[in-house]
């Protein structure tokens, strides 16, 4: 896969290095798990902290929306 350059907002979460889409998603999940951001009752939902709120644009998103959100923040 071709490396994609993350936006400044996405770069705060995963770093600014160009990565393939699969690695970007993996790094976001690593961040979510490290900071315990999965909803306790519904594990499919991701609660946003300060960094992710800028990326998501809202307080909570479904894990199925991650790919769509990442698409908006890479070049």
Q: Which residues pair with 28 in a beta bridge?
A: none
Quick: pLDDT tens for 48-73.
999 999 999 999 999 999 999 999 99
Q: DSSP assignment of 2-43, as one string? A: --BPBPHHHHHHH-SS-B-HHHHHHHHHHHHHHTT-B-SS-T
pTM for the structure as a whole: 0.92
Closest CA to 33 of 16, 53, 13, 18: 13
At 5, is the pLDDT very low, low, confident or very high (cuts 50, 70, 90)?
Answer: very high
> Can you name the CATH fold of 8-72?
MDM2 (1.10.245)
């Amino acid at each position: 896969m071709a490396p994609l350059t993350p936006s400044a907002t996405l770069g705060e979460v995963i770093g600014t290095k160009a990565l393939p889409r699969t690695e970007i998603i993996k790094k976001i999940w690593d961040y979510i798990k490290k900071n315990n951001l999965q909803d306790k009752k519904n594990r499919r939902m991701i609660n946003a902290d300060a960094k992710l709120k800028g990326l998501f644009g809202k307080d909570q998103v479904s894990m199925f929306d991650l790919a769509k959100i990442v698409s908006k923040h890479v070049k």
